[in-house]
A and B are shown apart, each in its own frame.
Chain A
Amino acid sequence: MSAEPFTARNHELPILIQNLTKRFGDFTAVDNVSFNVQSGEVFGWLGPNGAGKTTTIRMLLGLIKPTSGNAFVLGFDSATQTKLVHANVGYMSQQFTLYSDLTAMQNIRFYGGVHGLSSDELRQRIAEIIRTAGLEGRENTLTGSLSGGWKQRLALGCAIVHHPKVVFLDEPTAGVDPISRRQFWELIYQMAKEGVTVLVTTHYMDEAELCQRVGFITGGKLVALDSVSQLKQTQMRGQVLEIGASDPEKAMRILKAAQLNGRIPFDEVALYGAQIHAVMPDAQKYKEAIQRLLMGEDVQVSSIERVAPTLEDVFISSVKAPAAIV
Chain B
Amino acid sequence: MNQFAISAANLVKEFKVNKHVVTAVNGLSLQVAPGETFGLIGPDGAGKTTTTRVILGLLSRTSGESSVLGFDSMNDMYQIRERVGYIAQQFSLPPNLTVMENMLFFAGVHSVDAEEQKKRIPELLAFAGLSEFSNRLAGKLSGGMKKKLALACSLIHEPQVVMLDEPTLGVDPVSRREFWNLLGNLRAEKGLTIFICTPYMDEAERCTRVGLIYEGKLIVDDSPANIKRVIPGHLLEFTPSDFSSALKLCNEMNGVLEVQTYGEKLHVFVDDVLKCKTQIEDALASQGIAYDHLREIEVRMEEAFISLIRRQKESVEQNEMIGEVR
Contact = CB atoms under 8 A, between A and B. Distances in A.
A–B direct contact (CB < 8 Å)? yes
Contact of A179 (B188, B263, B306): B306
Contact of A270 (B42, B169, B174, B184): B184
Interface residues of A, number: 51
Contacts of B182: 326
Nearest to A94: B170
B44 A256 contact: no
A316 B178 CA distance: 10
A205 B174 contact: no
Interface in B166-198: 169-178, 180-185, 187-189, 191
Contact of B174 (A192, A274, A320): A320
Contacts of B306: 178-179, 182
A177 B262 contact: no
A180 B305 CA distance: 12
A285 to B, nearest CB: 24
A253 B188 contact: yes
A293 B169 CA distance: 37
Contacts, number: 139
Interface string B125-169: 000010000000000001110000000000000000000000001
A273 interface: yes
Contact of B173 (A147, A182, A186, A312): A312
B255 interface: no
B202 A256 contact: no
B260 interface: yes
Contacts of A116: none
A312 B177 contact: yes
Interface in A254-276: 256, 268, 270-274
B172 A268 contact: no
A175 B207 contact: no
A42 interface: yes
A175 B174 contact: no
A271 B173 contact: no
A323 to B, nearest CB: 13
B113 interface: no
Interface in A160-200: 174-180, 182-183, 185-186, 188-190, 192-193
A249 B191 contact: yes
B261 interface: yes
A316 B125 CA distance: 23
Given A177-B199, A270-B184, A273-B224, A147 B142 contact: no
Given A186-B261, A252-B184, A252-B188, A178 B202 contact: no
B44 A272 contact: no
Range, interface on chain B = 35 or more
A326 B45 CA distance: 33
A326 B181 contact: yes
B234 interface: no
A11 B69 CA distance: 66
B98 to A, nearest CB: 20
Contacts of A205: 173, 202
Contact of B309 (A179, A211, A274, A312): A179
Nearest to A251: B188
A81 B309 CA distance: 48
B206 A180 contact: no
A174 B44 contact: no
B263 A185 contact: yes
A271 B261 contact: no
A175 B169 contact: yes
B173 A188 contact: no
Contacts of B189: 253
21 contacts: A47-B172, A48-B173, A49-B175, A177-B43, A178-B201, A178-B306, A186-B263, A188-B263, A203-B170, A210-B264, A249-B187, A252-B187, A252-B188, A256-B188, A270-B177, A272-B184, A273-B208, A312-B173, A316-B173, A316-B174, A316-B177
Interface of B: 35, 37, 42-46, 129, 142-144, 169-178, 180-185, 187-189, 191, 199-202, 205-208, 223-225, 243, 260-265, 300, 302, 305-306, 309
Interface of A: 42, 47-50, 147-149, 174-180, 182-183, 185-186, 188-190, 192-193, 203-206, 210-212, 248-250, 252-253, 256, 268, 270-274, 310, 312, 315-316, 319-320, 325-326
Given A177-B43, A271-B37, A274-B208, 12 more contacts: A42-B263, A48-B174, A49-B144, A176-B199, A256-B188, A270-B184, A273-B37, A273-B205, A316-B173, A319-B174, A326-B178, A326-B181
